[in-house]
Amino acid sequence: MASPESNSAEASDTRDRVIDAAEKLFAEQGFEAVSLRQITAQADVNLAAVNYYFGSKEGLIVEVMARVVGPINERRLVMLDEAESEAGGEAVEVKRILEAVFLPLMASMNESEHSRKVMLKLAGRCMSETGSEMPEVVGRLFREVADRFCAALSRALPHLAEAEVYWRMHFTIGAMLYALNQHETLVLLSNGRVEADDAEKALQELVAFTAGGLCAENVSCGKGAGK
Amino acid sequence: MASPESNSAEASDTRDRVIDAAEKLFAEQGFEAVSLRQITAQADVNLAAVNYYFGSKEGLIVEVMARVVGPINERRLVMLDEAESEAGGEAVEVKRILEAVFLPLMASMNESEHSRKVMLKLAGRCMSETGSEMPEVVGRLFREVADRFCAALSRALPHLAEAEVYWRMHFTIGAMLYALNQHETLVLLSNGRVEADDAEKALQELVAFTAGGLCAENVSCGKGAGK
DNA sequence: TGACAATTAAAACAAGTGTTTTAAACGTGT
DNA sequence: ACACGTTTAAAACACTTGTTTTAATTGTCA
């Protein structure tokens, strides 16, 4: 009768193995595409363990996402705090805001060996899936960071109307997620001119592009202005 | 024995109804999430009709995608052709290249009444789904346009290395698709500061942002340059 | 009208899903 | 050593999926 979820301190071997396997498989194939039987087979664990430990498949998804995205968002807020206190009362410059968004994600990719592509695709997937495919609980994990960074951007870009800040922040997220999610597509499409696994370069390009987009005053650019 | 797919000229009522229903449902819920029973019920048609006319579910997906995305890509190429011939031998300016990418999509949203959100979500979905969820045939629909626009951008942005053009084009696509796919999220997140269904404004903001990103030389911007 | 093909309809199929149930094994504290 | 709660194991359940099969119906041309 007692729920196994209540004892959080005790480490169950099979419980962790389930989460590890789920993280890997979710990253590779998406939440819906992966079956509990795949997960439990990968974890070398009985099928019923998932419903025993997590209540349901959705419960497992929430657990996995929280473990992956929680630390990243924490570090994002820390970096933004640091930048804001360094700036005193002044607005933080756009470049630093963007780095506070991107760096923690990139860093967590380099932490563990296998986590590189896992985190990458998982993070990308977590927002490319819409509505019903994505438990609302997971969405809530991002609400706080989104609000904080929106406020910071508004201060850094006072020449933009409030709605424009939201638009551009939206585009920024899209650029980042698509870059993560479809990285292989880029490597393939560029015929090797873009190297795989060059996280350094990716971050550099991403910051350059999104900063340029966020700070843009108008669209006149390159060869002469429009007629 | 004869395959019904061979007679393309004849218009079968139920065949069209299946495609219409599938387009709507795929747009709302994604390719995998929609079952053939949902589609045939919506179309008021027998279940077996799908396999009869399209061979399989994947065959139906290809048909739907081709019908939606084909005309859009054709118009994109036409607009790029026009811009290039207008420019003579000169490079087309970035703003016009971007409009050639975005305008046909926006325009097709305003064509038919119901197609607004349908096309929107469908187009967004067509690239946010990765690998196995997306038949390779559909991906091929975009190969030609991608190559043409990459070449145009390379000419318009000669100061960028080739790899950088690919990176930034990638980010551009990401911004566009995310804007389409997660538009409701933006409306919600902005607390009404961003209005729904304002395609005009969306295009304007998208062009401004992506042009700024594509043309960016460096990331110094806003309040003072980085330390 | 009769025959033959194209189309629609209904039912069944085989496989896979998440979940639940029922037992067995394990570990721990008395 | 015994009993009790926790954890694993195996099977079954109820349901949905895409696909096939089998029949009935329709339409068209000779």
Angle between helices B94-111 and B57-86 (to 10 degrees): 140
Would you place residue B154 in the very low, low, confident or very high pLDDT band (cuts 50, 70, 90)? very high
A134 belongs to a structural domain: yes
Which residue among A129, A170, A193 places its CB closest to the CB of B178? A170
Helices assigned H by DSSP within chain B: 13-29, 36-42, 48-54, 57-86, 94-111, 115-128, 136-156, 162-181, 183-189, 199-215
A54 belongs to a structural domain: no
Q: What is the pLDDT of residue B139?
A: 65
Question: Which residues of B, range 117-146, sit inside 8 Å of A by Cβ?
Answer: 121, 127-130, 132-133, 146
Q: What is the pLDDT of residue A26?
A: 86
- Looking up residue A134, the CATH number of its domain turns out to be 1.10.357.10
Would you place residue B85 in the very low, low, confident or very high pLDDT band (cuts 50, 70, 90)? very high
The whole-angstrom separation of Cα A172 and Cα A158 is: 18
pLDDT of B15-57, one tens digit each? 999 999 999 898 888 788 899 999 999 999 999 999 999 999 9
B17 belongs to a structural domain: no
Q: What is the pLDDT of residue A4?
A: 47
Strand C lies under 7 A from the Cβ of residue A33? no
What is the total count of domains within chain A? 1
Q: Which residues of chain A have pLDDT under 50?
A: 1-10, 131-133, 219-227
A35 belongs to a structural domain: no
Answer whether residue B73 shows pLDDT above 60.
Answer: yes
- Tell me which residue range forms the domain holding B150: 68-215
A137 belongs to a structural domain: yes
DSSP for A111-152, written as a single string: TSSTHHHHHHHHHHHHHHS-GGGS-HHHHHHHHHHHHHHHHH
Q: Poorest-confidence range of A126-140, B135-149, B187-201?
A: A126-140
Chain A residues in contact with B224 (beta carbon < 8 A): 93
B107 belongs to a structural domain: yes
Strand D lies under 7 A from the Cβ of residue B47? yes
Name the residue in chain B with its Cα closest to that of A86. B227
Q: What is the pLDDT of residue B189?
A: 64
Q: What is the pLDDT of residue A28?
A: 79
A149 belongs to a structural domain: yes
The verdict on a CB contact (< 8 Å) between A213 and B218 is no
What is the pLDDT of chain B when averaged over all its residues? Answer: 80
